[in-house]
Amino acid sequence: MNPKIIIPQELLLEIRSCSDGLEDCYGIARFNEGLIQILSLQPHDDLKKVARINSQGIELEDYPYSIPFAEMETIPVSDEFISRSQGVIDTSIVAARKVAFIGLGSVGSQIALHLTQSAIGRFILLDPDGFSASNLARHACDMRDLGRYKTKAVKDMILRRNPQAAIQTFEENLLDLSWHEQMERLQGSDLVISTTDSTAAQFMANELCHSLQIPSLYVGCYERACAGEILFVKPGQTACFNCFMEFRQSYLLELKKKEQRIPYSDEQPSELKAEPGLAIDIAYIVAIASAYALALLLPDSNRNSLLDLDRNLTLVHAGSLPQDRYSEIFHQPFDFLLARVKRDDACPICQKSTGGTYETSTDFSRNPV
C-alpha cells in the first residue's frame, strides 16, 4: 500500500512548473504512520530528502514507488492559515506589518508565536544569545533548537507556522552596535517589542523608537514570574520608557524585576542565572502583552480602544495569591491594574518628540478580570 503524501498546494504548483522535472523534495517521512510530508524544494536542517520529481509525479526516496501528482493530498496552507483570523482582523493589513523584537527569551519568543498566529507577516529578530536546556521549560522553541541562536530558532518556529513570513535575523547585542547600525536594524518597523533583561538596552530602544517615530512595547516579569509589567509607548503621545523608570523608582521600587547587570558590574554572563518561573504564569503576561501589540499594529481597528494613552502601563499578577510586597499592589490572583505614568517635564526623549511637555497625575486603576 502506497504511503499517504501530504503537500502544500502552493508547493505542488511550484513543483509542476519545474522546467527540468528533476527537483529534489524535502520533508518528513513518517514510515510508521504511512505518511510522507513534502514541505520544501530546498535543503533544511529539520528536513530530509524524501522524493525526486519526475514527469508524472514523484519518486519516493525510501519506497520503490512513483506517486502520480493526482494521488497526492494537497493542502491550501496559505488560505487555511488565515481562515480562522478572517473576520476578526484584516489579514491583508497585518500580513504587511513588520515587528522588530529586541530579546527572544521566554517572553519575546511567545509573543512572536502569538503574532505569527495572528497573521503578522514580517519580522526582525535581534538577540545575541543561544538556546540552552534551561530555556526548554518556558521558551516557545524546543529540543530541536538546543545550541542554536535564539534568532534562528524563532525564525524556524515562525516559518513552521507561516512559510510565507519574511524574517531578518541579527545575532547581536543592541548595545554593541553604532547608532547608525541600531537605526538601520529597526528602520521600517511598525512596532518594536523589547523584552530584553538589560535596562540599558531598553533605554536605547526607547530613544531609537522616538527618533524613528515607531511605537514600542516593553514587557518584563517580576521574580518567579508571579507578576509582570507591560508598557506601550507612542512617541509624542504617551509617557516614554525614560519617564516610566522615574515612575518605577517612586512606586515600584520594591517589586523585583530580573535585570541583566553585566554593563554595571564585574559579573560574567555565565555566572548569571535566569529568574525561575512557570511557563503557565508567563503565558498570562504574554497573552496581555500580545493583545497590546496587535492593538498598536492595527490603530484603525476596534482593538485601538485598548490603548488608553493616559494609562499606558499595565501591571498584572499571575494565577497565585499575591504575597508580601506584591499584596500591597495586587489583591487577588489574575489582578489587572492600569497605571497613569506622569510624563517627566525634563525628559529629553519626550521633548524631542513633541517640542514641549505636559503633565498628568499618577494613579492606579483596577480592572477586575
At residue 12, φ and ψ (nearest 5 deg) are: -60, -40
H helix count then E strand count, the chain: 10, 16
Q: Report which residue type is found at 118.
A: S
pLDDT score recorded for residue 341: 87
Mean pLDDT over 165-186 rounds to 96
What pLDDT, in 10s, does the model give residues 329-359?
Answer: 899 999 989 988 888 878 888 877 665 443 4
pLDDT score recorded for residue 261: 37
Give the residue, 21 or 69, on which the prediction is more confident.
69
Check: CB of residue 193 under 8 Å from CB of residue 99: yes
Check: CB of residue 65 under 8 Å from CB of residue 263: no
Check: CB of residue 255 under 8 Å from CB of residue 222: yes
Distance between CA atoms of residues 114 and 285, nearest Å: 12
Q: Report which residue type is found at 157.
A: M
pLDDT score recorded for residue 183: 97
What pLDDT, in 10s, does the model give residues 61-103?
Answer: 777 777 888 888 888 776 665 555 555 566 678 889 999 999 9
DSSP-assigned letter for residue 175: G
Q: Pairing relation of β-strands 48-53 and 313-317? A: unpaired
**Could you give the domains of the chain?**
4-75 (no CATH), 82-366 (3.40.50.720)
Q: Report which residue type is found at 20.
A: D
Beta bridge partners of 339: 313, 364
- Examine the pLDDT at 275 and tell me if it is beyond 70: no
Distance between CA atoms of residues 56 and 147, nearest Å: 41
This prediction's pTM: 0.81
146's grid cell: 538546543
